[in-house]
Amino acid sequence: MKARILTYPERTRWNEFAAACPHGSILQSYEWGELKGLFGWQPVRLVLEDNGQIRAGISLLQREIPLIKHSFFYAPRGPLVDLADKELLHELLDAVEEEAERRRVISLKIDPEISEAAALELGVIKNSGFEKARKQVQPRATILLDLRRSEEELLKSFEEKTRYNIRLAAKKGVRIVEEKDPAGVARFYEIYRQTAARDGFLIHPESYYQKIRELIFGAGLGSNFVAYYEGKPVAAVIVFVFGKKLWYMYGASASEYRNVMPNHLLHWEIIKWAQARGVETYDLWGIPANPSEGHPLYGVYRFKKGFAGETVRYIGAYDFPYSPLYYHLLENGLIFWQNLRSLITKGKIEDSLGE
């Protein structure tokens, strides 16, 4: 088996491999790495090949740690390997460790889309030297909606209140428009900025979402949808599509006109849009792993639950320390900084990914 790093001319080959993996994710796509490369990360795509065929791979994001001239690796929703195959996983991890030594990397973080019920795969990860991370990067739980049904069957499967709200929005004249041009993304961002201020979470600057438009939308891997009421944009959603799967990545809603339920119709139109393109699964993205009324995402959970998909809980983030001393010191420092930033910006230490 040969290990090597893929380069830009092979981006299509990488995406075809990643999209075909059972737990492949848009966050392991070539374009996601390129996006993060514009905002402080360095992408690295490493593969194991056998007779010219990719057997396993991992898209890594490298981030330098200020002052100490070391870095860490993060593989969002990676690695892309059969985690039940201990020998193949270890061969891939050995190749990653060799690259880590060259780059002065102190740890590797992974958070694959592997169910917490997958005892064999989880056992292999733990027995390979990984430690459960103290904080999550991506949501550990989600709701997956099977789109391999007719519109009538899907609509009938939704909770009664969700069906009612979809029809109410249509009756009130809410209109859904696909707008993946710069002006459409700017409209999304204006509503998203209002949403973040109202609900107390941090967002990137508009330039980040415009780069999503350039890199992700430009590669045919996503789009932006805006809901209008009486000619005014009142809600918007950015979705990503990779292989046969669609992800609800960013959602925004204005404080006004929430009574006309634009978000319900917005997702219903997105579902129909996805079905027309052969998408089989709609990943509604983050929900609390253990929903309760006091959780900051409980309202989001109730909304998404109305679409009556399957709730899935993943194993979450795991870290492999190459330098245990550095790793534990810096992990404590990073968590302290994140808590301090949350306290300063939101007035509270609260993690929406917490359980």
Q: 10 Å Cβ neighbour count for 250?
A: 20
pTM for the structure as a whole: 0.93
Same domain, 129 and 150: no
Q: Taking the chain (355 residues) in consecutive chunks of 10 residues, what is each chunk's mean pLDDT?
A: 95 98 96 98 98 96 88 97 96 98 96 95 96 92 98 97 98 98 98 94 96 98 98 98 98 95 98 98 95 90 97 97 81 55 48 61
Specify whether the CB–CB gap between 168 and 260 falls below 8 A.
yes
Same domain, 121 and 195: no
Which segments within 70-119 are labelled E, that is strand? 70-75, 105-110
Same domain, 217 and 273: yes
Same domain, 254 and 301: yes
Pairwise CA distance, residues 109 & 352, whole Å: 19
Q: So what's the pLDDT on residue 335?
A: 58
Q: So what's the pLDDT on residue 148?
A: 98
Pairwise CA distance, residues 107 & 101, whole Å: 10
* 353 within some domain: no
Q: So what's the pLDDT on residue 350?
A: 55
Pairwise CA distance, residues 323 & 13, whole Å: 33
- Residue 104's identity, in one-letter code, is R
Same domain, 228 and 127: no
Q: So what's the pLDDT on residue 67?
A: 77
Q: Give the structural domain span for 8.
A: 2-138+315-346
Same domain, 159 and 223: yes
Q: How many domains does the chain have?
A: 2
Strands 131-132 and 141-146: unpaired
* 151 within some domain: yes
Strand partners, 320: 108
* 354 within some domain: no
Pairwise CA distance, residues 97 & 3, whole Å: 12
Q: H-helix or E-strand containing 334? A: helix 324-346
Same domain, 174 and 295: yes
Same domain, 214 and 326: no
Same domain, 39 and 147: no
* 333 within some domain: yes
Same domain, 165 and 298: yes
Q: So what's the pLDDT on residue 340?
A: 46
Q: What is the CATH number of the domain that holds 332?
A: 3.40.630.30
Same domain, 148 and 262: yes
Same domain, 165 and 76: no
